Amino acid sequence: MTENPEKRQMHFSLLTMPTLAHNDYGIWRHPENKKARFDDPSFWAEIARICEEAKMDALFMADGLGITDSFGGSFDVSLREGMHVPVIDPGLVAASVATATTHLGLAVTAASTFDPPFSHARRMATLDHLTKGRAGWNVVTGFIKNGEDNYGVPTASSSAQRYDTTEEFMDVCYQLWEGSWEDDAVVGDRETGVYIDPAKVHKINHVSEHYVCSGPALWHPSVQRTPLIFQAGMSERGRLFAAKHAEVVFAASGADPEIYRALTADLRAKAAGFGRGREDMKLLGIAAIVTGEDDAAAEAKMTTYERWTRPEGYLAHINALNGFNPLVHDRGELLLEALKSDGFKRDDFTAYIPHPDITIGDYMDMFKVLRHGPGTFVGGPQKVADQLEAYLEQFDLDGFLLRSLMYPHSVRDFRDYIVPELQRRGIYRTEYEGSTLRENIFGTGRKRISENHHAASFRLTPALV
């Protein structure tokens, strides 16, 4: 291992999505932005190789199974802005770049709401086999109404209900990954003609309120068996789920530092309540890094990016759950009054809205100024590295999901400018720690999920690393 044991090591994965605009609305129009090639496997191979050259943990791919209809039940804004649509399957994209890299993890988002656990567990095991142990699963429950309509899934009465169902989903997957085939079930004896020892393959016979699955798994154990588990829910129920299941939590930044600090502390405390130590769960914030040779070069880039930014997509994204549409109000109207006239209360504001006592015009203009968002770092290598270190210390984080504003520029700049500075400070790897995603996050030899994780309770035999 190349970590400096005296300093907190910084972890990075690239946050992306196989779609045109993922949290970066309007910038796709920049003549040098290549994101319009999101359906081209050579594009993703290039991005993955840059991530690996930057010694990142993983390419973390988001997903969406429906179109957001945040404004009056209409898809118009989402379609005009290319807001998460069109989107292709991140699992297939990840598989397509597996041979373009040898160390980079490939983490894909998959919703428990829309797929039987058996078929999902098989796909994730396949990805882990094809990558030789570099697969990760970002667990989501799904919340877009159009996604439920597309799959014919009844609308959940609450977020808590979706998480309760997902708890059962996880147990089925864990049993298939950890408790169906013994480590040495595949004999492959050419002399006797025995390929699999029948005594070492077992049904799981799972029966619960929402799922019935007999097993056994159709696949033999992959390198990690259970893929590395990511999770991003920050609600009370989401944090409880993360504390039990997640090995890496995307703790999305909020506008209020005190609230954000309390949320990360609560995640640590809840994990401890499940018998998990601090070393068993990594917390990642968001980082949009715009950098260059020096501060002036970075500022010039940010100014250019902001010129191409369009607020409509950001507004539709941020107000997706409450349906507030600022576009129908006059720019001079107070945001508070607009919310009142549309039937909203103060507690409807999300963490992304700093305060309501501004005009609609000021509120909309906020989304043209990217540098003011939480987790945005602009400057030369030393300035950004200072900010990243301070941010991790302030909020007790372990690293970041890197938000790319320009493709491939953002991740390439991170590789060329920020990584060498972090390495010089002894807080970022110079070589990968192991051959699997879990080892590169938790250390050499940690190929299998921790013994004190809930998944380990389904093991037939002690973990073999």
What digits encode the pLDDT tens for the residues 332-372?
998 888 877 877 655 545 444 566 678 888 887 777 666 76
Cα distances (angstroms) measured from residue 445 to each of 31, 46, 58, 283: 45, 29, 18, 21
Is residue 463 very low, low, confident or very high in pLDDT (cuts 50, 70, 90)? very low
> For residue range 281-309, what is the model confidence (pLDDT) as tens digits?
999 999 999 999 999 999 999 999 988 98
In 190-306, beta strands by DSSP E = 194-196, 206-207, 212-213, 228-231, 248-250, 282-290
Is 166 inside any structural domain? Answer: yes
**Residues 224 and 135: beta-carbon distance below 8 Å:** yes
Pairing outcome for strands 206-207 and 212-213: antiparallel
Q: Comparing C-alpha atoms, which of 312, 328, 291 is closest to residue 405?
A: 291
Is residue 67 very low, low, confident or very high in pLDDT (cuts 50, 70, 90)? confident
- Helix (H) / strand (E) element for 119: namely helix 117-130
> For residue range 379-425, what is the model confidence (pLDDT) as tens digits?
999 999 999 999 999 999 999 999 999 999 999 999 999 999 999 99
Neighbouring CB atoms inside 10 A of 330's CB total 9
Q: Does residue 460 register a pLDDT over 90?
A: no
Is 47 inside any structural domain? Answer: yes
Q: Does residue 430 register a pLDDT over 60?
A: yes
For residue 134, give its domain range: 11-306+374-457
Q: Comparing C-alpha atoms, which of 126, 140, 128 is closest to residue 63?
A: 140
Domain count, the chain: 1
> How many Å from the N-terminal Cα to the C-terminal Cα in the chain?
17
Is 336 inside any structural domain? Answer: no
Q: Comparing C-alpha atoms, which of 240, 264, 236 is closest to residue 252?
A: 264
pTM: 0.91
Is 360 inside any structural domain? Answer: no
104 vs 256, which has greater pLDDT?
104
**Residues 184 and 200: beta-carbon distance below 8 Å:** yes
Contacts of 84 (CB under 8 A, 6+ apart): 17, 19, 21, 22, 64, 67, 68, 78
Q: What's residue 372's pLDDT?
A: 65
Task: Say how far apart CA 7 and CA 161 lie, in whole Å.
Answer: 41
Contacts of 245 (CB under 8 A, 6+ apart): 139, 170, 229, 231, 453, 454, 455
CATH number of domain containing 174: 3.20.20.30
The DSSP line for 420-458 is: HHHHHTT-S-SS-SSSSHHHHHH-TT--SPPTTSGGGGG
Is 169 inside any structural domain? Answer: yes
Is 328 inside any structural domain? Answer: no
Residue 408 tokens, joined: 């491939």
Q: Does residue 273 register a pLDDT over 80?
A: yes
The residue assigned the tokens 């035999």 is: 461
Is 391 inside any structural domain? Answer: yes
Is 173 inside any structural domain? Answer: yes
> For residue range 128-147, what is the model confidence (pLDDT) as tens digits?
999 999 999 999 987 677 87
